[in-house]
Amino acid sequence: MASSLLKRAGRAAALNTMGNWFGLVGGLVSIVVIARMLTPADFGIFGMALVTFAIPEILSTGSLNQCLIQRRDLRPGHINSVFIQSLLLASIFFVGVLVAAPFVAARFSSPELVPILRVFSVVLFIGALSSVPSALLQRDLKYRQITIVDISGTVVAAVVGIALALYLQNSWALVGMEIARRTVRLFAFLWFARWRPSLRSSWAETAELTRFNAANVTSRLVQTVSASIPRILVGGILGAPALGLFNMSMRLREQAVSMLVSPMAAVTLPVAAQAQDDMALMQKAFEGAIRLTALIAYPAFIGAAVIAPVAVPLMFGLQWSAGVPIIQVALLMGLRAPTTSFNSGILIGMGRPVVIMRISIVTLIATTGLVVMAINFGLMAVMLALFLAQFLTWVMGAMAVKSAIGFSIRRQAAAGSTALLASIIMGTLVWLTPFVIPGAWSEVVKLFALLLVGVTSYLASLALLSPEVTRRFGCAAVLLSRGRSQDAMRMALGVAS
């Protein structure tokens, strides 16, 4: 059973990696093109809409479906119950947004936000219809289909977003882009899952999901509030341009996490749910997953932060130059991802959503307090406050995982230590490079020189610090190039054949 599960998980992670990498490249290309046509204020207006819908989406679609992945004895009544609850909540919030739109716009001092909120509210129903089929595909580790869904959504969204940006030259381009992405994903999920909506369920089947859903929904709600508070304060106090810079920096970090970490983290929940009785397997897979993501993510985040002063104005335009320090801090915040992105999946898979809820509440309190104290000192102070709050989250999550599967905090930290040290060496060398290259070089040439120094110095540092790790992942790369994705993932995770 363990071998079969790891094979399926390896294949799922490899497929998810492909989809996420394509999604990142496609998303980054579209954002680069659109950012050169729009302003930070346009992104700020759209960011206000996203903040408004954050809590409604979490309550109606973003957390109810996880019980379908975690539950062992899943029946059609359970599936239908989740759909009914999602649809009902989506309808309530849809009406609420239509009514409250003028008040929300007044709070942000942005009257142009009213029609955007009312049009964008259609995503609530799209999410209600998407939540069940997406969960069913994840439950069965059908990541080939999920990869196709992600790629299709990315391509269509990019085309629609760029076309609208050329024609409209305002934040409506971002609205249309996001609605297009979600619509394509909805129809693709319905097609691959072969699921059709039904209202046939019972109170007993709904009650069986209540305890898990209550804790899980509360956790996700608290996490969403915690993520929304900085955006609300930045938008309401510092204004739309500052919120645009903030959202751009966080989006770049989130897209990097989606490409570098999420492919492994996404399969954690279904794997943990199916391996709840095998702690040795859980620990081995968890440690290998941290090591793998750290080897890729640490150099990416540190390297991107170091080259940001050259890369950001070159890619997004000079109007984004003021956001360079903000983007650098956001990227460095991503360093926590290789050791924390798996915690939620493990704890939910082990049936402990209450633990996540408690961690989320403490994080919310810490985030709110730190941001409130920092907001009057500017956007950079807010970013540093969030950096500190996320360190607290890591400590609590590490302690919870130790309690759940017996995986010590020391082992969690040590799993990525080699990659972190090699990345710090690489970052230092890249930072020093501009002082020795000719000032007459163009910005494009400078960027390529920095990238070359970064890649070569990281690989050399890694080979010196840990020849065995370098050998293992070199073998994994060869296997992957030959199309043997399952064997490559198992080699990377350190699981014997």
Is residue 135 one of the residues assigned to a domain?
A: yes
- Is residue 445 situated within a structural domain? no
CA atoms of 453 and 432, how far apart (whole Å): 10
The model's pLDDT over 18-30, given as tens digits with 9 standing for 90+, comes to 555 666 666 667 7
The most distant pair of C-alpha atoms in the chain lies apart, rounded to whole Å, by 73
* Alpha carbon of residue 297 to chain centroid: 13
- Cβ–Cβ < 8 Å for 384, 371: no
pLDDT in tens, 141-182: 776 788 788 888 888 888 898 999 888 888 899 999 999 999
Q: For residues 250 and 404, give the distance between their C-alpha atoms in angstroms, rounded to a whole number.
A: 30
Find the helix or strand (DSSP H, E) in which 75 lies: none
Which residue in the block uniquely carries the two structure tokens 């009650």? 207
Alpha-helical runs (H) found in 58-202: 66-70, 76-107, 113-120, 123-139, 143-168, 172-193
Asked if residue 60 belongs to a domain, the reply is: yes
pLDDT in tens, 300-317: 999 999 999 999 888 887
The DSSP element (H or E) to which 478 belongs, if any, is helix 467-481
Pick left, alpha or beta for residue 378 (phi over 0 → left; psi -120 to 50 → alpha; otherwise beta): left
Domain hosting 16: range is 2-415
Residue 324 lies in a domain: yes
pLDDT tens digits, one per residue of 377-430: 989 999 999 988 888 888 888 888 888 777 788 887 787 888 899 999 999 999
Distance CA 492, CA 14 (A): 11
Quick check: is 465 in a domain?
no
Name the nearest CA neighbour of 31 among 235, 231, 253, 348: 253
Is there a domain that residue 207 lies in?
yes
Q: Number of structural domains, the chain?
A: 1
Segments in the chain below pLDDT 70: 1-28, 62-64, 66-67, 70-71, 143, 208, 211-213, 215-216, 263-278, 281, 349, 351, 469-497
User: Hey, how many other C-beta atoms are within 10 angstroms of the C-beta on 76?
Assistant: 12
